[in-house]
């Protein structure tokens, strides 16, 4: 994986030489003693050893770097290619099934986002975890020792790319609807209930964040992907097998909580929004918080 390896001038305070994972968690602990012995002055040695003035890389540069990492690696590129191909295939299948009267825009839209709901979280996992298995985290955290700031850039990059894919899917579904009804001799109708737009976007955001959370928690791409797909299935089996869990499945199972948000004929109720919020806490916020804690403390090798 390529990384932004621009070296910073010491006056910018983004970390000096020294091993990652030292006592202070930033790789600067060993460097401080050597630098003081040689008479070298760094920003963290000024003002009584305060590090309040350290600035590191500009956040916009971090964000650009993380966005580039999602598309300039073999895994990221092929994942995006597969997402695009499956989206086109799903849209084509919906057009074929509705060829007599013309496929409706809501049907095409909900069909097109299905592959993305499965694969976009994998992009979040790659963004959060791939550097730990490819040993490039050492370079990244040397350039910007504040790890949570790096993770914020990674999360925003994954979300931004996911929302871009959703926006392109809206346009693809519209073009497919126009082509479908034109071939069938019907009328173009691009009207969609507002709640369907909101539901599609909300679910994609939750899924991408869930991928980032699992990647940060496990810091291993294959393990995170396996857990992401296996754990919801196990929870679904448990809710179907255990009576009292089944009665509360909407508050536990993310798949059950997501169903009302792709319905065309009825907007989600207040309770269903609450269920989505609760499952997001279980499956996104808690794993993400634990993952950020682990990233901040784990030694980089």
Please write the tens of the pLDDT for every residue from 16-25.
444 434 444 4
Confidence of residue 4 (pLDDT cuts 50, 70, 90): very low
CA distances, 86 to each of 119, 158, 188 (Å): 10, 19, 25
Burial class (CB in 10 A: 0-12, 13-18, 19+), 284: buried
Of all residues in the chain, the percent with pLDDT exceeding 70 is 81
Count of CB atoms situated within 10 Å of the CB of 153? 24
**pLDDT over 90 (residue 72):** no
CA distance linking residue 273 with residue 270, whole number of Å: 5
Residues of the chain with pLDDT > 90, as a percent, come to 49
**Hey, which of 45-49, 132-136, 142-146 has the most confident mean pLDDT?**
142-146
Q: Whole-angstrom Cα distance, residue 282 to residue 284?
A: 6
Check whether 176 has a pLDDT greater than 90: yes
Q: How many CB atoms lie within 10 A of CB 56?
A: 18
**pLDDT for the residue numbered 17:** 41
Are 127 and 215 in contact, with CB atoms under 8 Å apart? yes
Q: How many residues would you count in the chain?
A: 301
8-state DSSP, 39:
T
Q: Is the pLDDT of residue 214 over 90?
A: yes
Residues 6+ apart with CB under 8 A from 92: 176
CA-CA distance, 120 to 130, in Å (whole number)? Answer: 15
Whether the pLDDT of residue 37 is over 80: the answer is no
How far is it, in rounded angstroms, from Cα 145 to Cα 156? 18
> What pLDDT does 195 receive?
92
Separation of alpha carbons 52 and 211, rounded Å: 33
Tokens 């003693």 correspond to: 33
Query: How many Å apart are CA 161 and CA 159, to the nearest integer?
Result: 6
Other C-beta atoms within 10 Å of 193: how many?
A: 14
Q: In this structure, what token pair is assigned to residue 267?
A: 């907007």
Average pLDDT, the chain: 81
The encoded tokens of residue 97 equal 């099934």
**Contact yes or no for 191/104 (Cβ under 8 A):** no
Q: Can you tell me the distance from the alpha carbon of 262 to that of 203, in angstroms, rounded to the nearest whole number? A: 9
């Amino acid at each position: 994986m390529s990384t932004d390896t621009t070296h910073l001038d010491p006056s910018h305070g983004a970390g000096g030489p020294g091993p990652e994972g030292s006592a202070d968690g930033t790789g600067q602990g060993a460097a401080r003693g050597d630098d003081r012995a040689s008479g070298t002055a760094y920003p963290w040695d000024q003002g009584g050893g305060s590090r309040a003035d350290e600035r590191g890389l500009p956040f916009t540069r971090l964000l650009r770097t993380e966005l580039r990492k999602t598309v300039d690696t073999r895994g990221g590129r092929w994942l995006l290619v597969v997402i695009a191909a499956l989206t086109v295939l799903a849209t084509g299948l919906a057009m074929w099934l509705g060829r007599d009267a013309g496929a409706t825009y809501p049907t095409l839209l909900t069909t097109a986002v299905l592959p993305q709901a499965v694969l976009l979280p994998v992009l979040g996992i790659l963004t959060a975890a791939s550097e730990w298995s490819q040993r490039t985290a050492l370079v990244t955290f040397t350039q910007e020792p504040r790890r949570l700031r790096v993770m914020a850039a990674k999360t925003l990059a994954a979300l931004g790319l996911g929302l871009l894919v959703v926006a392109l899917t809206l346009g693809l579904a519209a073009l497919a609807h126009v082509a479908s009804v034109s071939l069938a001799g019907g009328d173009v109708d691009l009207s969609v209930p507002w709640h369907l737009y909101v539901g599609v976007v909300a679910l994609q955001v939750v899924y991408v964040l869930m991928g980032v959370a699992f990647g940060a928690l496990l810091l291993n791409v294959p393990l995170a992907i396996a857990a992401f797909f296996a754990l919801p299935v196990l929870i679904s089996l448990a809710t179907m097998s255990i009576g009292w869990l089944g009665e509360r499945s909407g508050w536990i199972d993310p798949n059950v909580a997501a169903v009302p948000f792709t319905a065309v004929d009825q907007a989600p109720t207040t309770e269903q929004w609450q269920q989505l919020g609760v499952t997001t806490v279980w499956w996104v916020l808690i794993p993400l918080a634990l993952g950020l804690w682990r990233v901040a403390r784990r030694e980089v090798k």
